[in-house]
Amino acid sequence: MLLTKTNFMSYLDCPVHLWLEKIHKELVPPFTAEVERLFAQGHMVDDKARELFPGGVEVQGYNFDGHRNTQRLLASTATVLYQPTIVVDDLSCRADILVRSGDGWDLHEVKMSAGVTDGHYNDATFQTILFRRAGVKINKTFVTYINNKYVRAGDIDVTQLFIDEDVSSQVAKRYASIEALIPKAKEVFTWGGVLRKEHIASCADPRSCEWIKLWTDSMSGDVRDALLADASVAAAKELPPLYIDKEGIATELAGLQYPLYFFDYETHSSPIPSFDGYRPYQQIPFQFSLYIIPSPDGTPMIHDFLMKTFEDPVPALLEFFAHVMGREGSVISWYAPFEKARNDEMALTHPEYADLLADVNSRTYDLMDIFKKGFYTDPAFGGSNSLKKVMPVLAPELSYKNLAIQEGGTASASWAMVTDPSVPEVKREKLYNDMIQYCQLDVYAMVRILDVVRERVK
């Protein structure tokens, strides 16, 4: 089996990750809509980065076919190659861009991140090793990544959108250590079809490794427990016991004043800014749900906003927001820093709403604080304070499983479809309703959690 660049990076993440990829693909979960969206964004970034090095030739084919076509083009008069492929010593990699430089080539690896990570250095080093083993002279190695300070104004300026950083010195420092790890990664191919205790021991953090858990979850209880015990791995991490600090919770909630506004944003972000005035990866609210309880015995009111066209949603969102958000009472959200940050950003670009947004932030209470501060703990939360973990325990009658959209990443990915006129209207209308239902449940979950907490404090 070929050890590809992707395989090697999986090995660096965890040897069991590589083993599952190669030996037990059926245990690896399918890609979520959010992962698919990230892949699409990655392709978009790759294509845009090519504008830094125009006039290139795209190498056709993968692995051996790609290698043969790369060798042919390397020997031609071409000065820029897109997607060149190398296969050597049962190793394979596909680079992003090669640029002719003197009597050799410069390698440019494109990343959709806003900086260079340790993993990017390792990735670039692996590629440099393979190209040099195949006889290609690599003079310099670069990582090309997103400049998150860039603000779009009209057409995308690729010279400002990207930073092309020379990482040759880092590649030189890691060269020997990465070369030494390559045969160790290949050894994983010889593990066979069963994960053993010595394989588990190769993981840096077996107690919390998601890849080991995928394997052990597929086993019978007795076999799993024996394997985990034999490998000195705890089957489950220690979780805090059930604990309710009634006095602490009462103090937390004492400042809440009616009307109560339960509130949540859904946002869009992209490595390449979609609209003028925005930075890469800036979170742009395109949807919100607002659940208002006017008084302890008052009739709740629900307001929803979801932009139906793919254009800057903030002006229309703020207009509706100002119409439905009152100036008195407490605003409640889950992980309030996120909503507050969006309000601060919108206040800068739309100063006519700055007073309203500042006022909302000053009245916002983070319901997650009850759990984050340890006033209410339950082992059933799994050690998490997220809404998705707390809701099933305190409000089991509610469930995201009954919804077409079950998490925020899918909601964000869905906005592009619900605003796409090429998508059939019936499908867009259903998706629109699915997105409304998801955001409403995020908000109503907070309503129910607050009710349950108040009841248990009595």
Which CATH number characterizes residue 413's domain?
3.30.420
Residues 205 and 322 in one domain: no
Mean pLDDT of the 265-289 span: 97
pLDDT at 236 over 50: no
Quick one: 86 and 109 in the same domain? yes
Q: Using pLDDT thresholds of 50, 70 and 90, give the confidence band for residue 33.
A: confident
Q: What angle is formed at CA 198 by the lines to CA 192 and CA 201, rounded to 5 degrees?
A: 125
Per residue in 165-216, pLDDT tens? 999 999 999 999 999 999 999 999 999 999 888 998 899 888 788 998 898 8
pLDDT of residue 410: 84
Q: What's the average model confidence in pLDDT over 155-168?
A: 98
44 within 8 A of 272, measured Cβ to Cβ? yes
CA torsion angle 30 35 40 45 (round to 10): -140
Query: Which range is least confidently modeled, 40-44, 217-221, 278-282, 430-434?
Result: 217-221
Q: What is the pLDDT of residue 53?
A: 98
41 and 61 housed in the same domain: yes
Asked if 325 and 355 sit in the same domain, the reply is yes
Report whether 75 contacts 106 (CB < 8 A): no
Share of the chain above pLDDT 70, in %: 96
Q: Are residues 329 and 221 in the same domain?
A: no
Look at residue 79 in the predicted model and tell me its pLDDT: 98
| Burial class (CB within 10 angstroms; exposed 0-12, middle 13-18, buried 19+) of 139 | middle
Task: Provide mean pLDDT across the span 35-44.
Answer: 89
| Domain-located, residue 240 | no
Residue 235 placed within a domain = no
Distance of alpha carbon 179 from its chain centroid, rounded? 30
Q: Kindly state the tokens that stand for 240.
A: 């805090």
Q: Kindly state the percentage of the chain with pLDDT values over 90.
A: 84
Residue 238 lies in a domain: no
Among 13, 23, 32, 38, CA closest to 269: 38
237 lies in some domain: no
Q: Buried b vs exposed e over 8-31: b needs ≥16 C-beta within 10 Å?
A: bbbbbbbbbbbbbbbbbeeeeeee
The neighbouring-strand residues paired with 331 are: 261, 364
Q: Is there a domain that residue 384 lies in? A: yes
User: Going by C-beta distance under 8 Å and a sequence separation of 6 or more, which residues neighbour residue 86?
Assistant: 67, 70, 92, 93, 95, 127, 130, 131, 133, 134, 136
List the beta strands (DSSP E) in 40-125.
57-58, 80-82, 85-88, 91-94, 97-101, 104-110
> In this structure, are residues 210 and 28 in contact, taking their beta carbons and an 8 Å threshold?
no
Residue 343 contacts residue 361 (beta carbons within 8 Å) = yes
**206 and 120 fall within a common domain:** no
Position 37 confidence tier, pLDDT thresholds 50, 70, 90? confident
- List, in sequence order, the alpha helices (H) in 75-220: 118-133, 158-161, 168-187, 197-200, 210-216
Q: What is the pLDDT of residue 233?
A: 54
Angle between helical axes of 425-457 and 387-394 (0-180°, round to 10) = 60
In single-letter form, the type of residue at position 208 comes to: S
Count of domains in the chain?
3
pLDDT of 365 reads 98
Q: Which of 384, 385, 370 is nearest to 450 (CA)?
A: 370
Please indicate, yes or no, whether residues 133 and 268 belong to a single structural domain of this protein. no
384-432 residue pLDDT tens: 999 999 999 999 999 998 888 888 888 888 999 999 999 999 999 999 9
Measure the CA–CA gap between 430 and 407, rounded to whole angstroms: 17
Chain-centroid distance of CA 287 in Å reads 19
Q: In what order do the strands lie in the sheet with 260-268?
A: 301-306, 284-293, 260-268, 330-333, 364-366
Domain co-membership, 208 together with 268: no
Please give the Cα distance from 255 to 279 (Å, whole number). 36
Amino acid at 119: G
| Residue 421 and residue 314 share a domain | yes
The CATH number that applies at residue 32 is: 3.90.320.10
Is residue 225 predicted with pLDDT exceeding 70?
no
Q: What is the SS3 assignment for 51?
A: helix
Domain assignment present for 380: yes
Q: Answer whether 367's CB lies under 8 Å from 391's CB.
A: no
Domain final position from 230, 258, 283: 230
Residue 234 confidence class, pLDDT cut points 50, 70, 90? very low
289, 300 Cβ separation under 8 angstroms: no
Q: Are residues 83 and 23 in the same domain?
A: yes
Q: Categorize the per-residue pLDDT at 235 as very low, low, confident or very high, splitting at 50, 70 and 90.
A: very low
The per-residue pLDDT of the chain, averaged, comes to 94
Token output for 269: 């972000």
| Start-end of H helices in 208-285 | 210-216, 221-230, 246-253
Q: Give the model's pLDDT for residue 223.
A: 61
User: What value does the mean pLDDT take over residues 297-306?
Assistant: 97
Residues 347 and 445 in one domain: yes
Domain residues for the domain of 105 are 3-189
Query: Is pLDDT of 227 > 70?
Result: no
112 domain residue, yes or no? yes
- Give the pLDDT mean for 136-145: 98
Dump pLDDT digits (tens) for 52-106.
999 999 999 999 999 999 999 999 999 999 999 999 999 999 999 999 999 999 9
Which of 186-190, 227-231, 277-281, 449-453 shows the lowest per-residue confidence on average (mean pLDDT)?
A: 227-231
pLDDT score recorded for residue 226 = 64
Answer yes or no: do 277 and 396 share one domain: yes
> Which tens digits make up the pLDDT trace of 352-376?
999 999 999 999 999 999 999 999 9
The structure tokens 């509130």 sit at 263
